[in-house]
Structure 1
């Protein structure tokens, strides 16, 4: 047995921690089975002196154990050692550290500094300070924040690797600061430069592209703490001795892009202006930083019919382009961004709306590397102007997002489903940039609460989102008011709006998802006032029947079941049915939360309210015969999945749901509210085969329709691109919008069967369920206790199941086609047994199948991986030389032979197309 992955507040050896009682987590790893922790001991030391010794605790807890020692000091390094004993007689030790930050904003001794440039000055201010070091240095830390977004350089080199610090918070209540380890100070003269962009604080933002949402002048606060080898210390801080100028960044806006002029030289330095901003609002960095997490090479140069020079990166992403070039002095290179080409192959930036997303680089004649600093774009394609010759090797797409640990993997025998999973993950990367945005490309990029709420469960499988959502939920609570409830976007720049169901319910649902996923009780403690505040807001607006039936509601946003020609986007489900379904659902979560927090009076209060709401819903929205007022897919799903309908009505409602789906030829019609729960509801009510059939549909509307149209991220609309190649022209057509990616949770929970029976996966449920059209699934989830694996194959009338259960947990395993569950301890398990199940889909005709195979971008990869002997076939080599589509027309005589070889290979490898 060994210990790994010691984390302090979800981080490894964190720097600048501003939590007075940090929590410790670790994982046990063992080759033996049935391993459980029996005891632990945590020791925390400062410079060799003990500040906390937990003593040997006879306890199996290994997740989020709270520090309970001496009060922590600011700017101090603490060493951590954890000892663990298991039930096999083994002992193991793991060590780590954490360093506190300032612990409170008022510990900043620096002054806020700004400038007095005129309002029409668009150049980013650069605040500078020169200082001298004459003694040998032991340690340097820098603490910094800004009103705007900032970048620090020391002696010309960037400090740290993060972007868009200090992040977007509710500046009226909260502002983060960052801590940096500084290694570039030289003996003698040194120069600090802090460049500040408008960012979210001052920049152009919102639907109307207006500036100055929080203030009309950027500012910075920073201090460098130097510890010398002789024990003495010095602080270099922002004050009135600093100077300010404008630099080569001539303009920068998140929506509009950035202009960098390396020929520009500003000789005039002026004194900074002191300003104020309440230091009580300042808190330490709460989530992981935004960083460049991937670098994608340019894949293809396209000359469009309109004569545009376009580069395709083969992936829709969020970030910016790095360009390496040697240009002429004054040469201007312009890069425009777009998610897609139109059906004629021309550059199509219309999905950006008013966000022009143009970067301009002006060369100085030297060999240069350009990349923006304070803007990001949502794009797959770039159009380049100002370069006569374009070398693909000069262009790199830099992927930007909050650098969360990726925790989930999912792969199946169906290549389209695998692409769907990749699309979900890429949309999460693209929209989890400091806050959970709706989209990363157009004039919006806002923290829509409804989108985040419906996707939270899927997000938590794909990545560790505990710190990310915790930070955002702190802002949500700070924006919430008794009068208006929970805003629709957080941080809220849209002004006061009455709260709306499903959107504002993020205040309740997301903390509960975090608790179930990570076993994090503190997030419930911190958010409980916000959670019950939202329920109280609704209750105060209910009528005499006890239901919420007033005010604006989004309903089942973008549902497809409105009458043809309707311009409404709320779907056909009664919007107040949606509102009251969520009212009941969230009330029950608050009741369960009160139970976890041992708030017994609240348990009783919210249980009574929950029962009252359910009774009222049954009286108002379900007839005595069991008919729903809205017998839409979403109406039925909410009644069943939220357990709102009385037992005597459930069978009738389920039949109505089944009939509705059949009437739409096994297609969904759901919007943002119904989609996350549709397949769950079917699977949980003995209609799992129908869920599978609906899931694997490849024509509109379906998840795989977008995949078949070449999507590499999730679309905002089921028909963002129409079957004929045209685009939806509603003006709301993002091609990177993760809400419908919420199907990912069903894929993990039902197809792979990975579920938690106890919060944090202390006890695990493994219950995979088959669907026709998928012969195998392999998924992993790196939980707080370690990696959980569920893998199955069904072919040749045999079922094979592989399961891994992490140490210090137990599991309940339901093998497919077996009734009784198996109780498992930790370890790896393999099962194999006979079956009569046939998971084959009906094959297409020979002609259509061959065309489908060669239209699939992954076809050659599949053959290369699973049937390498086929790669020597002359037709395969021919396919490399011609476009895939051309092969059918060029060599029709070979098609039947090749088709038979392909089908044989696919059958041998459980791959179905």
Structure 2
């Protein structure tokens, strides 16, 4: 069926009905056109919606249409509802505040995008003779109250089962007492088909323990820090409330809610007196523990379940090794991605923030693109980034969508401007997708965004040719910084920013050349050369020392290949390894340096130091949170202190994926899989064994098929098995320096030099 033209209007209920109204439209099929051949519903909303046809949900998605840059892009979803329409049919819609009207950010503000909820939808029914009947949202629709009396993404949802109107979305329901609807302003040019997948119920987790806290409160431990909500069936006295509070951790045996800041993360359920089913789908929480008050009767592990909610993504990459702590770290990284990839890549899913911070995804994109197929997910978010950027004269905001532009900032806060690594998401994320999937579409779509950002930053350079002025996040959350001064890093902010710009200009030049923009390619190559020359002149001493002489600056200089000679690179590698050893293999890097330090060590011949850095268990380290029972990656290395108390910093999350970007090295360095050509049409297989891990298995479902690498050390000898898809060429590099080129099939190799190489002998 050719898509029918839009006839719909954005409608809003005449009464707000506690911010969760129901909308309904009952109609009959037109006669004389034969059987229904196809029926398609297209729907979107100001707020979030759940659509039903005659009482049956039209899809598996929840929290649709999600959060986009509503000012320029309001996504709609399409549903095949052919099997649901009948002679008499009801199109029903539940609305909620969602991101459009609910609280956003930590300023306590709501209604950032508008004050009225709305629904925009159209059901097109094609009959056997080709006739199309369209049922569109208009003022003939009716509005009524739902059982939800409170709904907010941060604060939670209240459902009063006494208010349930059975059959409200089915034919024959008496809606005589319902209110009307009216149209609200809406620019149809903003309508956009989603590029990414919907948010769905992705699984369930059962409780592992129910126990009493020291103060006698009932706590449920689900054994996994997850994102979603609880659901259950229950029967109890009419009007009796059950309250559920959520948190990620316990402190002193009680629910640790301080990291939530102002987010209440509380759901309340009021019983009807009969059997009730509760599922609060107009909110979500980041939690491992739930505190339950008012449960009638005995609460058992079979009484309830946690529903895991995130965008529908296909798992593509796996990793496992002989070290169970590293395996748990990898599982934590996967769960951190799942919790924060809920319609857009957020920093955290639990407190009064949950924003699409650009810096986090800038460094995590390669890891994400290995673990899951995030092509559509991130391309959709990048379209919002480009829209926000274009409206801000080329400035890439620090969060996308940019809710912060509507929030008051302290007078001493600097005016918004491009920020290294954060604004770099406009260039680094598209490039990561290109490398992972080999599809030029993302580079074509984002080219204007990429070049606009790079040119803007060029205009911010000082007379020295360095990006050394203005506010920078820098090596955010350096573990040596004061808990309340996360920006106070060892790494010089100008060094970090300038080397980031060098990488950005180089990628932009490569992108221009790929797309046939030769003049742009030469321009950005020259910019990269100028930035490199300024970096070397002002930041690299004659002996090779880089200003601020800390691990992050050497890691970035090596990883971004800004050093011009083998001598410079060798010195940087030796100095990096020396600093890592001097710090007893405790992590000394923040957001900027952490994703790249193990790779920089390995690439300069210091794989033993990379392994020891990875395997260190003291705080700060990647494995310290694992030894403390973490099931996701923390925002701070010491979000929980060794004594079991929560970090005193005002900003503390137990589900932040950024520091989990080390998984990129687990996959490429230990696992040994990296692309030699975009989309893995040609693959490099080069696992680097090291002390503390005896075997590793890694796999990746590429656009060309699955690549699998398994290696094992036995008495110093390496056995390597490689599976390559048909039509793909793989360059295999053994630790002793032997090279092989193989094509599709499974191949085995052995090397007696593995242990000597990994030990630096």
Normalized against structure 1, the TM-score is what? 0.78
The match for 1:528 among 437, 440, 447 is: 447
Q: Indicate the residue corresponding to 1:34 in structure 2.
A: none
Match of 2:18 in 1: 122
Q: Which of 195, 205, 220 is 1:296 aligned to?
A: 205
Aligned to 2:707: 788
Secondary structure, aligned partner of 2:195: coil
Answer with 645-654 or 792-801: which moved more: 645-654
| Mapping 1:782-821, distance limit 5 Å | 782-817=701-736, 819-821=737-739
Measure the CA separation in 2 of the matches of 1:662 and 1:793.
Answer: 27
| 1:246-285 alpha-carbon deviations (Å, 9 max, x no partner) | 2111111000100111102687311100122111110112
Deviation at 1:833, TM superposition (A): 5.3
| 1:180-199 aligned within 5 A | 180-183=79-82, 185=84, 187-199=86-98
Q: In terms of mean alpha carbon deviation, does 133-142 or 760-769 score higher? A: 133-142
1:647-679 deviation per Cα after TM superposition (whole angstroms, max 9, x unaligned) = 243333333222221221122210000000000
Tell me, in whole angstroms, the C-alpha distance in 1 between the residues paired with 2:502 and 2:526.
11
**CA–CA separation in structure 1 for the residues paired with 2:751 and 2:548:** 45
Task: Give the superposition deviation at 1:331.
Answer: 1.7
Alignment of 1:309-458 (within 5 A): 309-342=218-251, 344-388=252-296, 389-458=298-367
Change (3 A) 1:500 1:814: same
Distance change >3 Å, CA 327–CA 186, structure 1 → 2: farther
Deviations 1:197-226 (A, max 9, x none): 111111111111201111110111111111
Q: Given that residues 322 and 694 in structure 2 are in contact (C-alpha distance below 8 angstroms), is that contact kept between their aligned partners in structure 1?
A: yes
Check whether the contact 1:584–1:613 (CA below 8 A) recurs between aligned residues.
yes
Matched with 1:283 is 192
In 2, Cα distance between the equivalents of 1:643 and 1:145? 46
Shift of the 568–734 alpha-carbon distance from structure 1 to 2, 3 Å rule, reads closer
Do the aligned partners of residues 395 and 676 (structure 1) sit closer, same or farther apart at CA in structure 2, a change above 3 Å counting? same
Could you tell me how far 1:154 is from its partner in structure 2? Answer: 1.9
Unmatched tracts of structure 2, length 5 or more: 166-174, 406-414
- CA–CA separation in structure 2 for the residues paired with 1:840 and 1:395: 49
Aligned to 1:844: none
Aligned-pair distance for 1:394?
1.8
Note the C-alpha offset of 1:365: 2.2
Residues in 1 aligned to 2:705 and 2:459: alpha-carbon distance in whole angstroms = 44
Deviations along 1:722-746, one digit per CA (max 9) or x if unpaired, are: 1111110111110000001000000
1:164 Cα shift? 1.2
Q: Is contact 1:204–1:210 with CA below 8 Å preserved after alignment?
A: yes
Q: Give 1:486 shift.
A: 0.3
Q: Of 662, 666, 672, which aligns to 1:743?
A: 662
Q: 1:22-53 deviations in whole A, cap 9, x for unaligned? A: xxxxxxxxxxxxxxxxxxxxxxxxxxxxxxxx
Equivalent residue, structure 2, for 1:894: none
Contact 1:149/1:197 (<8 A) preserved: yes
Identify the residue that residue 629 of structure 2 maps to in structure 1: 710
Q: Does 1:486 align with 2:396?
A: yes
Using the TM superposition, give the Cα deviation of residue 160 of structure 1 relative to its aligned residue in structure 2, in angstroms. Answer: 0.6
Change (3 A) 1:565 1:210: closer
Task: Give the secondary structure class of the aligned counterpart of 1:122.
Answer: helix
Instruction: Show the counterpart of 1:639.
Output: 557
Q: Partners of 2:394 and 2:681 in 1: how far apart?
A: 38
Residues 454-500 of structure 1, C-alpha deviations (whole Å, 9 max, x = no match): 10011011001110110000000000146461000000011172121
Among 585, 595, 598, the alignment partner of 2:503 is 585
- Whole-angstrom distance in 1 between the partners of 2:601 and 2:463: 34
Instruction: State the distance in 1 between where 2:247 and 2:484 align.
Output: 29
Cα distance between partner residues in 1 of 2:648 and 2:343 = 30
Alpha-carbon distance in 2 for matches of 1:650, 1:265: 68
Q: Secondary structure at the match of 1:139?
A: strand
Q: C-alpha distance in 1, partners of 2:269/2:480? A: 48
Structure 1, residues 275-309: CA drift from partner, whole Å, max 9, x if none?
A: 22111110112111110111111111011111110
Tell me, in whole angstroms, the C-alpha distance in 2 between the residues paired with 1:565 and 1:208: 21
For the pair 1:773 / 2:692, whether they are aligned, the reply is yes
2: CA distance, partners of 1:833 / 1:661: 29
Q: Which of 645, 662, 676 lines up with 1:757 in the alignment?
A: 676
Q: Distance in 1 between matches of 2:554 and 2:715?
A: 38
Q: How does 1:608-757 map to 2 (within 5 A)?
A: 608-647=526-565, 648-757=567-676
1:137 aligns with 2:36: yes
**Equivalent position to 2:11, from 113, 122, 129:** 113
| Structure whose CA Rg is larger | 1
SS of 2:755's equivalent in the other structure is coil
Secondary structure of the 1:166 match is coil
Counterparts in 2 of 1:125 and 1:418: CA distance versus 1, 3 Å? same
TM-score relative to the length of structure 2: 0.94
Structure 1: runs of 5 or more not aligned: 1-74, 77-100, 842-913
For the residue of structure 2 that corresponds to 1:288, the secondary structure is coil
Against the structure 1 CA distance between its residues 235 and 807, is the aligned structure 2 distance closer, same or farther, given a 3 Å change threshold?
same
Q: Aligned pairs, how many?
A: 734
Q: What's 2:168 paired with?
A: none
Q: Does 1:465 align with 2:374?
A: yes
**Which of residues 597, 600, 603 in structure 1 aligns to 2:518?**
600
How many Å separate the matches in 2 of 1:655 and 1:767?
22
Q: Note the 1:564-583 alignment, pairs <5 A.
A: 567-583=485-501
Q: CA offset at residue 834 of structure 1? A: 4.6
2:75 alignment partner in structure 1: 176
CA contact (8 A) 1:308 1:347 kept: no
Give a deviation string over 1:320-367, Cα, whole Å, max 9, x none: 11112122221211111010111x322212221111111111121222
User: How far apart, in 2, do the equivalents of 1:829 and 1:241 lie?
Assistant: 67
**8 Å Cα contact 1:774-1:840 kept in structure 2:** no
Equivalent position SS for 2:76: strand
